[in-house]
Amino acid sequence: MFDFTADLPPPRDDEPASLRQDIIDELTDHLECATKRELLTNTTASRGRQSPDSSNPPDAYARALTRFGNPAKIARQLWLDAMQEKLMAQRLLTSLSLIVAVAALGMMVLVWNSMNTNQQLMVASLDANRELLSQLGDSNTRLLEQLATTQRDAPSTPASIEWVPCEVELRHGSEDGPPAAGVHVRLTSPHRPAGARDNDPESLMPVINATTDENGHVDLGLVHYGYYEMQLKMPWEEYASTDVTVHPGKPLSQVIVVPAEPLRPVDVQVRVNWPEGFDADDIVVACWRDNRTRELENLTWYSHDPRRYDLSAVLGPALIGPTGEMMLTKLVGSSRLDLGGNDRIKVQVGSDEHDGMPLDREDLQTVDEFQIPDAGYRFYGISFLIRVDARFVYSPLSLSAVPYAYVPGTYLDAPAELLTFTDGDTTELSLNVPSKVVDQIKSFRAAIEADVQSASEKSS
C-alpha cells in the first residue's frame, strides 16, 4: 500500500486527533473505488453481462493510482485545507505580537528620552533654586539689618493707624531711571475748606510742601489717611498732579516717573500767505499759542500751572502786522467795535469781549521771532483783526498800537492743512488764509465803511 502520510507536516498541538486518520481513510476509500472502476472497465463480456477481470488486480491498481495522482500530496493538501484557519490565525497572532513588541520598544525609547530630559531639567531647576535661595537669603539678611537699624533709630512714638508715614521717590524717564532732584512736591487734601491757608491750624491736614533731595527722595512725614492730590513742579516750570490714597495703618511709599529733560525751545517766525491780489494792509493776524502738554506714565505734564485758569495772562497771542512785523501782548483776548451814543467809533482790544481793556504802547512788544516749548507745539486758534479808520478813534498811536476790531466768524482752530512748519535753526510757520476768511473780511470791511460813513454824516 501507498504511504499517505509521507508529505504530511509533523503533528501539531492544535491539530484534531482524528484529522490524519480521517484523511487516510478518505483517500483509501477513493483509491479502492478507483481500482474497482478500473477492474470493471477491463472486463470481458460473458453471457450478456460484464464481470470483473480478477486475474490482474495489480495492473488495475496501478492504473487507478495513475489517474488518482500522488496520494501523499493529496493528503498534504487536504491537511492544509483543514488547518488553514488555525494557521492564518497563528500567523496573524504572530504578526500582532511582533508589532506590539516593536511599539513597546519604541515607547520604552521615548520614555527613556523623556526621563533623561526631565532629569536634566530637574538638575537645572535645582541649581536655579539654590541660586535663588542664596540670593533671597542675602536679601533677607540685608532687610533684617535695615529693619534693626530703623527700629533702633526710630523715635519711640506710639503706633497709630490713622497717621501713617508717607514718602515719595521721583525718577527721570522710568522707574529705573536716575533720581530726580530739586522737584517741588505739594500734597494737599481736595476736601480742605475753600480759602484755607496752607498751614491753617484748624485744618485736619495742612498742605505739605517739600523738595526732593539728591536721591530723588522726599519724606512727607506722618499723613492722616484719606484722599489727597499730589502736585509736582519740575525745576524748569513744568507741572503735573496725581491722586494719592493713604490707607489706615499702611505706610505710603511710591515711585513716580517725571520727565528727564525740559521741552526743547524753538524760535518761530510766522509768515501769512494771503490770496494773490488781496489787499491785507489793514489786517492783523492774532495767533493764539496753546499750552503744551505731554503724557508720561499716565501723568499729564503741563507747560503752565494747571491751577491757573487765566490762560490769556499766561500765553497771549502773537500779532502779525500787515507788513509781517510780529508783536506779543498778554492783553488781547478779543476786540469789539462800539458805535456809542456820542456817534463816535470806539475800539477796545482786550481780554474781555464785553468790557475790554484799552490797548496802549506798553502792552505790546515788537519781536523778530518768539519761542515755543518744542517743535511739537501747536497754535490752537487764529483770529483776524481789521484796522478801523484812524479819523474816528481816540488817540491814534503808532502802527503797532492803532486800534483793531475783531472780524466775527474768522476764529480758526488752526487745522493742520493751514499750517506748515519748516525745521531749522528758526522754525518758520507758514499760515495759509482760506478763501472763506477772505470773504468774511471783505464783508466786515464793507460794514465798517458803512458805519464810518454814517457816523461821519451824523457828525457833520
Specify the 3-state DSSP secondary structure of 329: coil
Q: Checking phi first, is residue 304 left (phi over 0); if not, alpha (psi -120 to 50) or beta?
A: beta
- pLDDT for 231: 92
The whole model's pTM is what? 0.46
Residues 309 and 448 in one domain: yes
Q: Could you tell me which of 378, 412, 363 has the C-alpha nearest to residue 268?
A: 378
Give the 3-state secondary structure of residue 287.
strand
Same domain, 115 and 2: yes
Give the total number of structural domains in the chain: 3
The answer as to whether 156 is a domain residue is no
107 & 179 share domain: no
Per-residue pLDDT of the chain (460 residues; tens, 9 = 90+): 566 677 777 777 777 777 777 777 777 787 778 777 777 776 543 344 444 444 567 777 777 777 777 777 887 888 777 777 777 777 788 888 999 999 999 999 999 999 999 999 999 999 898 888 888 888 888 888 888 887 666 554 546 788 899 999 999 999 999 999 999 999 988 665 545 555 554 455 678 999 999 999 999 989 888 889 999 999 988 899 999 999 998 898 999 999 998 877 777 788 888 888 898 888 888 877 666 678 888 898 887 666 554 443 345 677 787 777 777 766 554 444 454 444 444 444 444 444 444 444 455 566 767 666 666 565 667 777 777 654 433 333 334 445 666 777 777 766 655 666 655 555 777 888 888 889 988 888 887 777 767 766 776 6
Residue 153 lies in a domain: no
Report DSSP letters for 237-282, one per residue: S-EEEEEEEE-TT--EEEEEEE-SS----EEEEEEEEPPTT---TT
pLDDT at position 361, please?
Answer: 47
- Answer yes or no: do 384 and 421 share one domain: yes
CATH number at residue 234: 2.60.40.10
pLDDT at 265: 72
pLDDT score for 414: 64
User: How high is the pLDDT of residue 171?
Assistant: 94
Burial track 279-308 (b if 16+ CB lie within 10 A, e otherwise):
ebebbbbbbbbbebebeeeeeebbbbeeee
Residue identified by cell 518758520 is 428
Report angle CA 108, 114, 115 to the nearest 5 degrees. 90
- Residue 29, domain member (yes or no): yes
Same domain as 273, residue 253? no
Q: Are residues 287 and 391 in the same domain?
A: yes
Quote the distance between the C-alpha of residue 293 and its chain's center.
Answer: 22
Q: Which among 242, 258, 274 is the end of a domain?
A: 258
Domain of residue 383, residue span: 266-459
- Mark whether 113 and 17 lie in a shared domain: yes
Q: For residue 309, what pLDDT is reported?
A: 45
Q: Are residues 298 and 439 in the same domain?
A: yes
Cell numbers of 174, please?
522710568
Q: Are residues 278 and 360 in the same domain?
A: yes
Residue type, 329: T
In a domain, 363, yes or no: yes
pLDDT of residue 172: 94
250, part of any domain: yes
Which residue, among 320, 278, 308, 282, has the nearest Cα to 439 in the 3D structure? 278
Helix or strand run (H / E) with residue 210: strand 208-211
Same domain for 28 and 134?
yes
Note whether 318 and 326 are within 8 A (CB).
yes
Phi, psi of 352 (to 5 degrees): -125, 125
Q: Are residues 103 and 194 in the same domain?
A: no
pLDDT confidence of residue 202: 47
pLDDT of residue 258: 94
Q: Which of 206, 227, 258 lies at the terminal end of a domain, its last residue?
A: 258
- The 3-state DSSP composition of the chain as helix, strand, coil percent (nearest 5) reads 35, 30, 40
Report if residue 61 sits inside a domain.
yes
Residue 282 covered by a domain: yes
Angle CA(95)–CA(8)–CA(98) in degrees, nearest 5?
10
Residues 127 and 167 in one domain: no
Cβ atoms of 264 and 177 closer than 8 Å: no
Final residue in a domain of this structure, among 142, 175, 199: 142
Q: What's residue 232's pLDDT?
A: 94
In a domain? residue 150: no
